[in-house]
Amino acid sequence: MSSTTVYVPGGSVIPRRTLFRYWQGSLRGSEFTWAVAFVVPYIAVFLAFVVYPVFYGAWMGSSVQLYRDLFADPIYRSTVVNTLLFLAFGVNLKLFLALMLSGFFMHPGWPTKVLLMIFVLPWAVPALPTFISIHWMLNGEWGLLNNVLYALFGVEGPSWLNTRWLALGTAIFSHIWKWLPFWTVILLAGRMSIPHEIMDAAKVDGATGLRSFIHVTFPLLANLYLVLTLLATIFLLGDFNTVTFVTGGGPANSTHVLATLGIRDAYDMGHPELGMAAVLSALPLMIPLVIVLMRKLRTTEVQL
């Protein structure tokens, strides 16, 4: 009597009676029991809090009518513009400044180390108190910033959070101020990994200052910089803390990004399906970024 066979990943064919031993591998007895005891909870958590929410959310936002309603909403159209501006400035300006500052913090000496410790503090403190503090500092009537401007220069400060572009600009600035130290430290580590022999050889060949950066440092950091740009874009697409706690999406829902608009539609407006559709509308941008990032990490090695 022939035995039943099953296909396993890799194209192998294994009799069903030996399938258990295939998955068991070299583990025997209590070792296999402990392995299962540790793995099963993680699989259950992954299925319950990752796989199920993703598929359930995709099912909620799968109706074509939802996207017709969404695209007809003028708030959504302004939100798309806000999201693109947030990405353009929040990612590129942040990483460019991080690249420049990483060069500054390469200078030896204790003053530079002290400045680096102070510089990292905005990233080290929790995000919510930081953004809430910024919100109250920018209050147009009795906020700290306007009071300082009036006390020192006799200037009436603007209403930072009462006009769309000023409010959006302050949200972008707050995001950059909060996360700039994180990306600076990563690029600083990349600079420190460049062998001294390469830099010494460049100096001998006359490549110093700006020429050394253009022809030696940046080419060696180019792959790392690209990977960080992709990661920062993906992270920023899902960031709702900055806008939520700095501007609240105001004034008049004019500073929402896709992440905050989805929360507003789902919870404030009581339309979870529409909120999910707003979030899923970012997938045409998110999916290519993830694919490019995975291909970059798999096919190339980040040069340090």
**Mean pLDDT throughout 32-58?**
87
Contact 59, 141 (CB under 8 A): no
Q: In the prediction, which pLDDT does 31 show?
A: 73
Q: Which residues contact 251 (CB under 8 A, 6 or more apart)?
A: 161, 162, 163, 164, 167
Per-residue pLDDT tens digits for 209-264: 778 888 788 888 988 999 999 999 999 998 999 999 999 998 999 999 999 999 99
Q: Which backbone phi and psi does 210 adopt, to 5 degrees?
A: -65, -35
Q: Is the per-residue pLDDT at 17 higher than 60?
A: no
Q: Is the per-residue pLDDT at 8 higher than 70?
A: no
Q: In the prediction, which pLDDT does 290 show?
A: 87
Q: In the prediction, which pLDDT does 201 show?
A: 81
Per-residue pLDDT tens digits for 76-129: 999 999 999 999 999 999 999 999 999 999 888 888 989 999 999 999 999 888
C-alpha distances in angstroms, 14 versus 1, 6, 28, 134, 276? Answer: 16, 6, 19, 62, 43
Q: In the prediction, which pLDDT does 143 show?
A: 84
| Domain spans in the chain, listed from the N-terminal domain onward | 5-59, 63-299
CA neighbor of 223 nearest in space, from 190, 185, 184: 190
Contact 66, 277 (CB under 8 A): yes
Q: In the prediction, which pLDDT does 98 show?
A: 95
CA neighbor of 238 nearest in space, from 264, 262, 220, 206: 262
Question: Rounded to an integer, what distance in angstroms lies between the CA atom of residue 296 and that of residue 169?
Answer: 32
Per-residue pLDDT tens digits for 100-112: 999 999 888 888 9
pLDDT category of residue 303 using cuts at 50, 70 and 90: very low
Strand partners, 139: none
C-alpha distances in angstroms, 284 versus 49, 60, 288, 296? Answer: 23, 18, 7, 19
Question: Rounded to an integer, what distance in angstroms lies between the CA atom of residue 233 and that of residue 286?
Answer: 9
Strand partners, 15: 5
Q: In the prediction, which pLDDT does 304 show?
A: 42
Question: Rounded to an integer, what distance in angstroms lies between the CA atom of residue 206 and that of residue 208?
Answer: 6
Question: Rounded to an integer, what distance in angstroms lies between the CA atom of residue 72 and that of residue 67?
Answer: 8
Domain spanning 63-299: which superfamily?
A: MetI-like (1.10.3720.10)
Question: Rounded to an integer, what distance in angstroms lies between the CA atom of residue 104 and that of residue 102?
Answer: 5
Question: Rounded to an integer, what distance in angstroms lies between the CA atom of residue 171 and that of residue 86?
Answer: 9
